[in-house]
Amino acid sequence: MLRLPQFSVQTPATLEAALGLLAAHAGRALPVAGGTDLLPNLKHRLAEPEVLISLAGVSELRGISVGADGALTLGAMAPLDQIASHPDVIARAPALAQAAGIVASPQIRRMGTLGGNVMLDTRCRYINQTHFWRKALGFCLKKDGTVCHVVAGGQKCVAAASNDTAPALMTLGGELVLRSQAGGERRMKVDDLWKTDGIFNKKTRLDELVVSVHVPAQHAGHHGAYGKLRERESFDFPQLGIAVRIDLEAGRVADADVAMVALQARPLHLKDVADTLRGTTPGAADFVAAVDKVAERAHQQCHPLPNIPGDPDYRREMVPVYVRRTLLAAVGLGSRPVA
Ligand SMILES: Cc1cc2nc3c(=O)[nH]c(=O)nc-3n(C[C@H](O)[C@H](O)[C@H](O)COP(=O)(O)OP(=O)(O)OC[C@H]3O[C@@H](n4cnc5c(N)ncnc54)[C@H](O)[C@@H]3O)c2cc1C
Ligand code: SF4
């Protein structure tokens, strides 16, 4: 049985108290939300905090609401199953509801939160292992070692961003509301959150918390979908995650976006999607031809690495298939790919 290391747990009841504790234990503390990723990682000694600051009692971090302008505010502690089943999220941000609804398994979605999902650590087949296993291999750059086992001679960790909600939030123009005691409140586009460094792939401060996620009101003709390739349909991290937004005006594509996860340390937008699809009519031949072109370009742009489970050549061949099917599903032309 894998045991947790020694640490103390603080249970603040307010956001101010949580921020104060993070500041007081700077660099030695980590926030814990649902704990569904952090606790297994602690068992594997991927992080060794002296203090865990539980956000479970901080009511300011909960709730889902719609503003007068139609924007969604989603508390960082909103559980994923609540995001997936909330009528306002389903109606206004379908790709996000779908992405949240196929994270892991039902039990994990009840514990796991949106904030924890956005802030999820990167994953790699050589790091998400026991300490004993990693030691036998000789550790690696991300923790305790000096080499990368994915890229021979590599000096940069390329562990993969594996959070399903990240690409969905990127296509929706989502923004994080962040707070720290020293820096106060600031907003950051989810697009701007990422670094290409798999050791820590986010531009947040160590003493900062995600308070909420803001999803602006979408176009009146908004459509969205999330497709996911994974080993087991019942529960698994993505081997590819594909979020799609298509905005229609008078039956034609006015704007579109595709973002993907589970390739490299940062989720990425596909290039030229809007220019290729704009002006085409879903259901007509021009749309199908444009979708095929986007899928073909996705194949050129995406080069999965042997960083997460799943043969990288197979994952690459699945890129155009999943991009195509998710684009069609977004406008009701087929079912979205989820296995
Ligand atoms: C078997 C299994 C399968 C899984 N499958 C998937 C999957 O398919 N897709 C997927 O995306 N994830 C998956 N996960 C990972 C995880 O369950 C989810 O990502 C979940 O949403 C994490 O949320 P949490 O609240 O449990 O985060 P926690 O584990 O509590 O925290 C995760 C990280 O975020 C930080 N954090 C949490 N809240 C905040 C905050 N408000 N501000 C700043 N930092 C914060 C923590 O310090 C920690 O570093 C899986 C996990 C398991 C065990
Ligand atoms: S990509 Fe390389 S350095 Fe990063 S976790 Fe995997 S093996 Fe370690």
- As for how many domains the chain has, the answer is 2
Please name the residues in contact with 226: beta carbons below 8 A apart, sequence gap of 6 or more: 95, 96, 98, 99, 102, 164, 167, 168, 241, 242, 243, 244, 326, 336
Supply 297's token pair. Answer: 């370009």
Asked which of 58, 81, 103 is the last residue of a domain, the reply is 58
- Given 58, 75, 104, the domain boundary residue is 58
Is position 181 within any domain?
A: no
Of 10, 50, 108, 178, the one to substitute when testing ligand 1's pocket (max ligand atoms within 8 A of C-beta) is 108
User: Is 249 contained in some domain?
Assistant: yes
At 120 the pLDDT is 98
For residue 25, being part of any structural domain is answered with yes
Closest protein CA for atom 11 of ligand 1: 163
pTM of the model: 0.98
Asked if 166 and 118 count as a contact pair (C-beta separation under 8 A), the reply is yes
For residue 38, being part of any structural domain is answered with yes
Domain-embedded: residue 202: no
The pLDDT score that the predictor gives to residue 234 is 81
Looking at residue 20, which CATH number applies to its domain? 3.30.43.10
Which ligand sits closest to the CA of 154?
Answer: 2
Give pLDDT, residue 38: 98
Domain boundary among 12, 35, 58: 58
Bridge partner list, 244: 225, 258
CB distance 46 to ligand 2 below 6 Å: no
Q: Show the CA angle centred on residue 184, arms to residues 182 and 22, nearest 5°.
A: 50
Report the greatest alpha carbon distance in the chain. Answer: 61
Q: Residue 240: which CATH number?
A: 3.30.390.50
Residue 206 lies in a domain: no
SS3 category, 264: coil
Asked if residue 237 lies in contact with residue 87, where contact means CB atoms within 8 angstroms, the answer is no
Residue ranges of alpha helices (H) inside the chain are 15-24, 38-43, 80-85, 87-92, 94-101, 106-111, 114-118, 131-137, 165-171, 273-277, 285-301, 312-330
pLDDT at 73: 98
What count of Cα atoms within 13 Å lies in the side-chain half-sphere of residue 258?
31
Domain span at residue 247?
230-330
pLDDT in tens, the chain (339 residues): 899 999 999 999 999 999 999 999 989 999 999 999 999 999 999 999 999 999 999 999 999 999 999 999 999 999 999 999 999 999 999 999 999 999 999 999 999 999 999 999 999 999 999 999 999 999 999 999 999 999 999 999 999 999 999 999 999 999 999 999 999 999 999 999 999 999 999 999 999 999 999 999 999 999 999 999 998 888 899 999 999 999 999 999 999 999 999 999 999 999 999 999 999 999 999 999 999 999 999 999 999 999 999 999 999 999 999 999 999 999 999 888 887
Query: Does any ligand 2 atom lie closer than 6 A to the CB of residue 159?
Result: yes
Query: Is the residue at 265 inside a domain?
Result: yes
> Is residue 107, in this structure, part of any structural domain at all?
no
